[in-house]
Amino acid sequence: MLIGKKIQEIRKQQRISLTELSKKSGVQLATLSRMENLKMTGTLESHMEIAKALSIDITDLYQDIDFEKNKIDLQNEETSADLFNYNDKSSYEILTSKVLSKRMMPTLLRIDPDGKTNTEQGSKLSEKFLFVLEGSVSIKIGDTAYTLKEGNTLYFDASLPHYFENTGTKATKIICVTTPVSL
């Protein structure tokens, strides 16, 4: 069983609505919904708050949770990747499968000329590593902009608001690795 389904099972056994669990735990309703629908796993901090709100020990929440036994995940031209669009000029491709069972999420970010991503802000303690494969990009983190070109890397606190903007004349491709996994 996955953590989101375990939360849902316990919540329904206790006849607690999602809204009520959100109020009791302090975890946003949208986050709880994403967790129960297996769109994200949440953080240890959110798991502790949910366990407290459900009046159970955190170990009870993790009991019977499936942990990936095989940590090898080969992706090649025969496996399909999940592709998500920020907008008509930027998209990202998840470079691994079963991402909700992973500790980090590798993606390939593509931004067309004059393209820009939406502003993102990860959870507390989230981090992001970037490696520019092609093109040039401006990354705005908080109030500071960083310009990167092919071969440059950047590691930063992803809980700060940030976005990416293609500053060149050709498409930009960036390998992004984010931890913890969030969608």
Among 2-16, 68-82, 100-114, where is mean pLDDT lowest? 68-82
**Top-tier CATH class for 82-179:** mainly beta
Mean pLDDT over 40-46 rounds to 80
pLDDT at 182 over 70: no
The CA-based angle 35-49-41, given to 5 degrees, is 25
Q: Which DSSP state fits 94?
A: E
Rounded CA-CA distance 57/24 in Å is 15
The residue that leads in pLDDT, 91 or 140, is 140
Across all residues in the chain, what is the average pLDDT? 86
Return the CATH number of the domain spanning residue range 3-62. Answer: 1.10.260.40
Residue 67: the pLDDT is 56
Token pair 């990416």 in the structure block, residue: 164
Q: What is the domain partition of the chain in residue ranges?
A: 3-62, 82-179
Per the listing, tokens 């500071």 go with: 144
Whole-number pLDDT of residue 130? 97
> How many whole angstroms separate alpha carbon 57 and alpha carbon 35?
19
